[in-house]
A and B are shown apart, each in its own frame.
Chain A
Amino acid sequence: MDNGTLFIDTFFKRELIVRYLPDILSGMAVTIEIAALVVAAGISLGLALALIRSLRSRPVNALIVVFVDIARALPPLVLILIAYFGLPNVGILLPSYAVLCLVLSLLLAAFAEEIFWAGILSVRKGQWEAARSTGLTYAQTLFHVILPQAVRLMVPPLTNRTIAITKNTALGTVIGVPEILNQATTAESFSFNATPLMMGAVAYLVLFVPVVIAGRYIETRFAWRRA
């Protein structure tokens, strides 16, 4: 057997592709489902936290800062393992799927809060004062004057962070969530062949390359023209 066929047989074996395609596809469905949940929950929670922070109550803000800092400093896998193995022993039984969603949503919420807050701070104080002096309420000022101006600054980092955290759905394999990577490694150990791993990698590329390209487009679209 020459090197070419050996390579094909190792990474692109046809019968294995056919056999494991349904598994990889079901893994893709799980990955998409978790990613969608995490993005929706994480970004809305992050926005809510930033809005609460803008009320500037000292004790509440201290709590938010501690939460955000801890989430930014800890590796996601550490949090996933603590939640997955620790919670059942204190009487909270969650399926691995829920643990993954919960941890990733909280992480995204922390990063999103930080980005939203930096965006809100970036709008000059005069804008607040001017808006309030025209008779707009606090909420009206926030939603009609401040946030629209802050969006330009928030969108690029928020897209990048969202992509990075949704890619962490792959960590679910460690606690047995049947997402793409989990399906691929299971199939690999059954077939003793690297083809399923290649399929898993391709599945991630199919899902995330368009997202990365869209992210780059958004980044240039929303960038401030620097002097």
Chain B
Amino acid sequence: MEAILRQFFNAEIMAQAAPLIFRGLGMTLLVCAAVVPLGLAGGLMVALAGRARSRGVRFIVTLLVDIFRAAPPLVLLIFVHAGLPFAGLRLSPFASVCIAFFLNNSAYYGEIYRAGLDSVSAGQREAARSTGLTAWQAMAYVVIPQAVRNVLPDLVSNTVEVVKLTSLASVVALPEMLYSADMARSLTYNSSPIVLAALVYLALLWPVVRLMSRLEHRLGG
């Protein structure tokens, strides 16, 4: 028991590692601030392109979405970060993370928006068009707001996944929270720094997770 406490909940080591980990938290939040809006915007584009009139466009969109949903995010990240330099494209870890997660997240958010757009009945668009709004106005002011509201819980839950995903950036040496915690672990030969990082993730995400699970159960009941 004492060994467990010393190995996982060592207050002294946690206090030593805290400044490093909180600096890492800053980077984690910065990555989120870049990756979440990119994914949300990319996903919306994917969903809109998926409704294009041209069959060719729709086919290509489906193909890309399937590919980027099938490839594990870490594989995409390592491909971008370690593979592209061979083709003469050397990117900073931050840029690699943004590109890899943009591709992955756009596919996931895109599927959610698609379900949202499907849930808005065609009459809404027709009514909007008949009041004189252009096709884009009808989409932007009438259809998309309702679509987003219908899939808001899914968007939130995917955003939690994206925040968790940013921990993968540690693999390409971006000094975010997990990277900092792992560095502290290898210096102190003790797991407490990673446990501290885990506690910070919990503090950030637990309230959202709790809210989601209440929402899910309410919808079910």
Interface residues of A (CB under 8 A from B): 7, 10-11, 68-70, 72-79, 81-82, 85-86, 89-91, 114, 117-119, 121-122, 153, 163-164, 167-171, 173-174, 180-181, 185, 188, 193-194, 197-198, 200-201, 204-205, 207-209, 211-213, 226
- Which of A69, A114, A169 has the most B CB atoms < 10 Å from its CB? A69
Contacts of A174 in B (CB 8 A): 171
Query: Which applies to chain B's interface (DSSP): helix, strand, loop or mixed?
Result: helix
- Do B71 and A121 touch (CB < 8 A)? no
- Which of B3, B87, B160 has the most A CB atoms < 10 Å from its CB? B87
Size of the chain B interface, CB-CB below 8 angstroms:
53
Contact pattern, B 196-219, Cβ under 8 Å of A = 1, otherwise 0: 011001101110111001001100
Contacts of B3 in A (CB 8 A): 89-91
Tell me, rounded to whole Å, the shortest Cβ–Cβ distance linking A82 to chain B. Answer: 5
- Do A209 and B165 touch (CB < 8 A)? no
Partner of A118, one of B8, B198, B216: B216
Tell me, rounded to whole Å, the shortest Cβ–Cβ distance linking B68 to chain A. Answer: 10
Q: Which of B30-38, B43-51, B73-81 contacts A (4 or more CB under 8 A)?
A: B73-81
Contacts of B217 in A (CB 8 A): 117-118, 121
How far apart are the CA atoms of A60 and B76 in the complex, in Å? 40
Contacts of A180 in B (CB 8 A): 75
- Do A82 and B191 touch (CB < 8 A)? yes
**20 pairs, CB–CB < 8 Å, chain A vs chain B:** A7-B87, A11-B83, A72-B209, A74-B164, A75-B168, A78-B167, A85-B194, A86-B191, A89-B3, A89-B190, A89-B191, A118-B217, A163-B69, A169-B72, A171-B168, A181-B78, A201-B76, A204-B75, A205-B67, A211-B70
- Do A173 and B74 touch (CB < 8 A)? yes
How far apart are the CA atoms of A76 and B167 in the complex, in Å? 9
Instruction: Indicate if B7 sits at the interface (CB-CB under 8 A).
Output: yes
- Do A204 and B66 touch (CB < 8 A)? no
- Do A171 and B74 touch (CB < 8 A)? yes
- Do B220 and A85 touch (CB < 8 A)? no
Partner of A121, one of B82, B178, B220: B220
Tell me, rounded to whole Å, the shortest Cβ–Cβ distance linking A100 to chain B. Answer: 13
Known: A73-B201, A82-B191. A204 touches B221 (CB 8 A): no
- Do A82 and B194 touch (CB < 8 A)? yes
Contact pattern, B 145-171, Cβ under 8 Å of A = 1, otherwise 0: 000000000000000110011111011
Contacts of B197 in A (CB 8 A): 78
- Do B198 and A114 touch (CB < 8 A)? no
